Structure 1
């Protein structure tokens, strides 16, 4: 009785061999015969498939080829419509015959049947047909985060799939992580042939979270008096600081989380990004526990968070005027002047300065905020430098530089620079003459005057900060190169068994230099991070005019400039499309 094996061209069985699944193009296939020890690895579309009827063929789209097992021998038949002969086709058929363990194959006969369509030719002597065992194809995603398996059934009498066999197949393919054993077991036990199942899944890395600081006091002080609805300033209601007691908890630090790594199905490690530890902003008069997780106040007083540093400080108070009987003041803390400050004096405070009277042509320097309850007449000699905010009733003919905001009722013929915003909204609310520069925004009732006084308004100007950033970058690079040289010197000296006095002196000098460089690198790096953030926000600046901006005013925002040639009322100026433009005022 004849036994036919069709070489199905579409990768599935022909009508006489039902149940053969369609292969997945390009998949690597592990094919197993009845004898597990004879399994071979086949790649690509030429790998064979099997059918329960014994009819088998290569997966290369070759309809019309069939093996016939007869008493006279094994015949290879070809019918009309079969693909044209080619080396790949010949190799696929010979490979298949080898998989079928066909003995004494006549290779020339195979070539002959390929060259003569509609022919039938003896390719091997009569012999018993060998039934192929189960096959499987495996597809691994490009990112190696998933793998899919498709079982292909054995021929009738061939070895059926088993869970150990499928597991070994995946291991041979390098699939070693995230294997879904339950899915494989279900697929094998239910004989889910031709169904693509998820065989393994990798896990993605989970990045860590940065440590953070929890402040147990308010850090949002404006450093300015309350502005009433009618525009007047209430100097009796202040929002300057918070009182704390000794041993009171000021800041706690939460540790950073490392996160967890990921793995692909091939076992490749995917590293996570660990979190960064937060730095405790410890300043003067505070204490840290051994693990640097809790900060407490060392003394009772006022607590401030300025320039990324928490400090607790006392106050220096002058009941009357600051005059020649008092002299210059340089105090590590707050300074409060009950009266006026005369010209030529210099008052310095590491924290805040408060003056109840009038300031003349003096110099005020504060690491924190400055409050001038009665204003300042600088007479083109006075200057004010505040690390935080500056609040004054009026400022005239004074040079002012504030790291934070500037708030006043009137500003006349001054040169102002604010790292935050400038707000002039009191009874007069005017900026006349001079120049005002702010990092964020400037708002006033009126800017300039009907007389056409030249008045410069600049917002978001980052040129100075960019120059500073360039300097800091170069300095950090230089210091690190210098540290490398120091390390080489120390390494060289360390190899010497005994050092003469001059070498010992050199070693000490180099060691001190390394410590100093390390401190500078830390300080410069922190300043670089702050400066970079300020530059990124430079284009967000706006100028709000709630009444009139007059001719003679020049408005510069970021890299653009607008020269006012006619009065403009109720306008907001902004930088957009590489130029300064204005629209209706955004503020009431």
Structure 2
């Protein structure tokens, strides 16, 4: 079988030979037009050459390996020659007497670009919608990227070495150098040899390839399906309305610049609402610092410091660990209002409204724990009564009787422990016997006021009074302001 003729001294200039036409196709015809021949097509970058093998016609000479080798030499195809593929194409073309088209006869090596090192933003998997009963809660989706302190924000991609290429004419193709536009660290980040890391917890912001962490979350519009529920480790500022059904949880303070249609809000520090807070009866507000609002309506509010309301508190359950302050025009109508150190308001209660109950001097957290233990004590007592009733039945199985006696002992011990806890809580229940209720206007009849569990039921209107506890007399007294 003929061999390929590989001429080592052929031209290395890589210039397209004269036989190559503008369409990158070259055909080298033999002396007899009936002889078999090949037509070669070059890729634009000269990294590939493909050929159509045309069989001989009539008594024409078949395609030979020597002929193909001469064509390759004439077209200056010297690198990446696919010898086995060419041999198979010649055999098939000559045997079947059919054209064999688009055969890869030579392939060069493309260059591999060098890639310089850069920082690439770490992936932030999007939270998937929570599902309950095959229903997706889109309120759990958020467009904000929240990161933790010391979280890795970006990884350094190491340099990737490049490699020169070579085309089918044997011409070297220099490798390129890529400089990817990576990210760099900005405010509240630190950079080590291989990472960009968050110095604080907050919102990740990328601006012109600079990443930073904001300790506060500013929402220019409102809270709704476009934002999802707000869960943020720092301060939250909301400039628009909050839609019903959306929750806000903040590790800092929350500022809302409009009326707040609240479902649930929990904030570690202060809550400030430019408008009022409307709860529709089921809302829960927990504030770790001070609460300020224009009004509060139909809410459950627990505040660790002072609660300040400008106009009115209506049909709400309010618990403040310090004071509740309303202006001279501030009114409390309906609901249960608890403040350890006292309440100052313009008016309390309304003749035609729901009754208003005021509680001061009592630590409501201790009160809640006491009520919880009282409930447990009632359950234990009911179980003991039923068990003793069963044990009074004569002729019981000895094994069963022993188990019942063991249970009786456990319940009696639990009853004793619960009773002791209630006794301890009672000792801590009264937090401030100097608490005051001051009203610059009127306390309406039907209002109940308690200070340190001593009650005063208002039967006749009281105007401009200060109510306090007289411990020596064991009753509440009022004096004019």
TM (norm. structure 1) is: 0.35
